[in-house]
Amino acid sequence: DIQMTQSPSSLSASVGDRVTITCRSSQHINNYLNWYQQKPGKAPKLLIYAASSLQSGVPSRFAGSGSGTDFTLTISSLQLDDSATYYCQRSSYSPLAFGQGTKVEIK
């Protein structure tokens, strides 16, 4: 199976900081990579699909990049509301897989 590895597993940053989360695939997956945000007790929310396309309604401070095996989620200016766990997800079958998550805390 293709493995998805996220880093870091957690981070703490201040409001206004630029935050970068990486996701690496063990095999080439073109741009079949999505990013989700999850807050406690809630379902995941789609932020980015196809590696770099912003889902409707998601603030423009979120951006995705990458192709092949290495992908990045960037929050350009961290806001209080961005405190959450972020997951990458491979959307090339099979089987589908999520990364292990990155917990973002606000200092």
Partner 1 sequence: EVQLLESGGRLVQPGGSLRLSCAASGFSFSDNTMSWVRQAPGKGPEWLSGILGNGGTTFYADSVKGQFTISRDNSKTTLFLQMNSLRVEDTAVYYCAKDRLGGDGYWDFDFWGQGTLVTVSS
Binding site for partner 1 (CB under 8 A): 1, 32, 34, 36, 38, 43-46, 49-50, 55, 85, 87, 89, 91-101
For residue 104, the tally of other CB atoms under 10 A from its CB is 20
Nearest approach, Cβ of 34 to partner 1 (angstroms)?
Answer: 5
Which residue lies nearer to partner 1 by CB, 46 or 63? 46
Which residue lies nearer to partner 1 by CB, 11 or 17? 11
Which residue lies nearer to partner 1 by CB, 21 or 97? 97
C-beta separation of 2 from 97 below 8 A:
yes
Nearest approach, Cβ of 102 to partner 1 (angstroms)?
Answer: 10
Of 61, 72, 74, 85, which is closest to residue 31 (Cα–Cα)?
72
Which residue lies nearer to partner 1 by CB, 16 or 95? 95
From residue 9, how far is each of 20, 54, 94 by CA, in Å? 12, 23, 24
Tokens 């200016």 correspond to: 77
C-beta separation of 69 from 84 below 8 A:
no
Nearest approach, Cβ of 28 to partner 1 (angstroms)?
Answer: 17
